[in-house]
Amino acid sequence: MNSGTYPYNEFVEADGMRDGSDYDGATIYYPTNTSEIHASIIIAPGYLNTELTIQNWGPFLASHGIVTMTIGTNGLTDTHLQRRDALLDAKQTLIDENQRQQSPLYGVLDIERIAVGGFSKGGGGAQMAAVADPSFKAVIALYPWLEDPIEEDLNHAIPVLIISGELDFIAPPSEHANIHYDYTPSSTLKLKYEVQLATHDAIGGPFGGYNEVGSKTLAWLKTFLLEDDCYCPLLSLVPESASQFTTNVECQSTSVIQQFKNDQKSLVKVTDILGKEIDQKPTGQILFFFYNDGTMEKRIISDWR
């Protein structure tokens, strides 16, 4: 499902990408028809999961302008430490693509803006990758799993979004996601969103929690990976699908648009952050206004009049 405004494409190792020794197979999804320099994220799968289970994030994030690399692991039973190493190795591959002249990403990656993420043990590996490499800009820990974690395992300063499932009996939040949140330093920006009635399932991806998992993840990456403060107010909004929600993120006040009349051009459509057209009165959210001259405006709405 292409939820964003960017068309996208993909390529794999057979197209000339570096074959990293610490992971097995990779796909890179990237926005097309744009001259922008793009930030990126690398995502690893969970225990007994293949790359296929996390590839739903590729089209979703690429369609929103974020280059997304999904990887497989050398073994389906690889530990969280091996998944950490896989993510770190994949980062080098991504950087190399910015320098490979035959790559679709040649010269269009911002190698200073790379995020890391993963599902289950991949989420645990992403957290540990952040400890090992403080240059990452954001962490997305999806239903994360770590065996007997200690504070040292999660001692990093990189903004981390933790998604968990209320009915996850494989990585129960009380034994995993909640500990991830509590053990990550209080000085680190962090958010924990427990999805009501959700289990340990990667397949839902960004469309879990009635699409609110994708919305929150996108807002997190836009805020901390792309450094677009406009999205920060979305982070404090508690999703309707949340059974638990806590964060230490506080956003600075932003300018508020109360009316959207424009005498110079005609409004074609208004969409929310996921590209869904809006035809009701929204408050306190980011909307995108598309006009018939091809331009687009992004606004925070306090009242629709």
Identify the active-site residue in 22, 24, 85, 168. 168
Identify the active-site residue in 120, 164, 215, 241. 120
- Give the type of residue at 106: Y
| Strands, E assignment, 72-131 | 109-119
**Partners of 49 in beta bridges:** none
CB atoms within 10 A of CB 78: 25
- Residue with structure tokens 């999660």? 154
User: For the residues of 170-214, what is the DSSP string, one character each?
Assistant: SS-TTTTHHHHHHHS-TTS-EEEEEETT--S-STTGGGTTTTHHH
200 an active-site residue?
yes
Judge whether 300 and 231 are in contact, CB under 8 Å.
no
164 an active-site residue?
no
**Which tokens hold the place of 90?**
């994949």
Judge whether 88 and 125 are in contact, CB under 8 Å.
no
Identify the active-site residue in 38, 63, 200, 215. 200
**Which tokens hold the place of 6?**
């960017």
- Give catalytic residues, as residue numbers: 120, 168, 200
